[in-house]
Structure 1
């Protein structure tokens, strides 16, 4: 069954001191020292599906506006089919993880870097979608000993500014106003109507609305840290320039209907990830795991074989 850890925060977005994880050894001194030299990691909320299997565990990192629930069903299915441990996490400023003004990939990578040895899950198979894919790539490039193999889902190690509507989505989310007295279902309907002039795709609106929640004071708020993400959007859409390559097996899964991985990206992919395979999933858009879950899982299992 899933073992969970929740990183608690107040309504103001200020992180409160979380409970310590309930299992796994403490961080080795060398790893802790490495993390402390960069951005300070936050305690991520996670769910772990444990097992006795000794193969590298599968670790899932979601994309922008997402949460660990995005990979919950797929993670459970792959655990049953492969026998491996599966970890799914909420990135900082998402889901139940703490809010922070820093949403850089260096910071998000440091969070995962701290968590993996804490849970005894390194080296792992790191699987990241979109923003999570960039986080996974940064970790693999900077700490390759923690990543046995890497899967990047519909994102490349290049800026995505030209093909993204994410900034306009955040501006629209910030402007949503919902009366207190409504139920959550009514609030989502109101928010959906207010988002629709900017976010044209109903399926994307429904995805964004999974972040709407009711606070204890009756007001509705977004689970994601909209303000921090807006302030840091340039960094999220960009990708740091790195020189070291990752020597491990790597899979880039591209949605055939998506523009996030282009043939012009292949040379940079191969420079940083010389063992990379690049595969296109037919009829899939940017959210490959949601559009074609069976094809997605089949691709992962073939890569593990």
Structure 2
């Protein structure tokens, strides 16, 4: 895969790397990254393939995305990156595979509201994809116009604005993410590739929202097999987007992981 777009928040050698979920961008983690920077920890924010400013591909592949992340970490930080890898939802699956296949790069892993298994909830993105596809881009006059045109199909303001962050005007209105590929790949996005007989020995924090149904009790056995040092914490009053619902709880948890993993400030 082609190189990934990344953004550095803070100064010095990055200690955290963030992988966003479906239709997300690295910038969605800016608030958390800026709080970590205030504590002396720099972060690198990733746009995953087919998202944000990263290159498009012709096939959705979790192993391919994980390899692209590993290649970028190795390019930026060397073979001993010693990074705390944080992934949410789709990005959490990429983060898990990255840690399993390249444990030498990862000092600790944080998986946010996703499990190493099938995520049936991805079907909820179907209507969102349909709403984006049905938007007449040639007829748009402004972003506010797009917001109004999508309101009936996507009545939740936060979700609609999250989707519209991907709308760009340069050279005519267009979706920045690879909507065609991602929309056609929802089944693969919800799936989990068998990583084989491997495990990641480092510290792992599994953060889930108490109002989310993405992680189920039956996922615990696989999570423990793949990540023997996993610590599962449930964040109160949080849904699937835990970092948006309870950012301070996530920031505090990440700082605790850094201490546990012995990842020092630059």
- The answer to whether TM tops 0.5 is yes
The answer to whether the Cα contact below 8 Å between 2:10 and 2:34 also exists between their aligned partners in 1 is: no
Output one character per residue of 1:21-46: Cα deviation in whole Å (capped at 9) or x when no partner.
xxxxxxxxxxxxxxxxxxxx211111
Q: Flag the structure with higher helix content.
A: 2
Deviation at 1:189, TM superposition (A): 2.1
Residue 3 of structure 2 is matched in structure 1 by: 43
Following superposition, the deviation at residue 208 of structure 1 comes to 1.0
Q: 1:106 aligns with which of 63, 68, 73?
A: 63
- TM-score, normalised via structure 2 length: 0.90
Structure with the bigger RCO (C-alpha within 8 Å, sep 6+) is 2
Question: By how many angstroms is 1:200 displaced?
Answer: 4.5
Query: Superposed, which structure 2 residues align to 1:2-151 within 5 Å?
Result: 41-49=1-9, 51-52=11-12, 57-81=15-39, 83-120=40-77, 122-151=81-110
- Partner in structure 1 of residue 118 of structure 2: 159
1:208 and 2:163 equivalent? yes
Q: Could you state the TM-score of these two structures normalised by the residue count of structure 1?
A: 0.79
**3-state SS in 1 of match to 2:254:** helix
Q: Partners of 2:125 and 2:163 in 1: how far apart?
A: 11
Please provide the CA RMSD for this pair.
Answer: 1.7
Whole-angstrom CA distance in 1 between matches of 2:122 and 2:54: 28
CA displacement 1:2-60 (0-9 Å, x = unmatched): xxxxxxxxxxxxxxxxxxxxxxxxxxxxxxxxxxxxxxx2111111135346xx71000
- What are the ranges of 5 or more consecutive residues in structure 2 without an aligned counterpart? 260-266
Q: Secondary structure at the match of 2:180?
A: helix
1:168-207 aligned at under 5 Å gives the runs 168-180=127-139, 182-190=141-149, 192-193=150-151, 196-197=152-153, 199-207=154-162
Q: Partners of 1:223 and 1:51 in 2: how far apart?
A: 28
2:239 aligned residue: 285
| Count of residues paired in the alignment | 256
Corresponding position of 1:269: 223
Query: Residues 215 and 163 of structure 1: is their aligned pair in 2 closer, same or farther, counting only changes over 3 Å?
Result: closer
- 1:163 and 1:259 in contact (8 A); partners too: no
Please name the residue that 1:13 is paired with. Answer: none
Q: Which residue of 2 aligns with 1:227?
A: 180
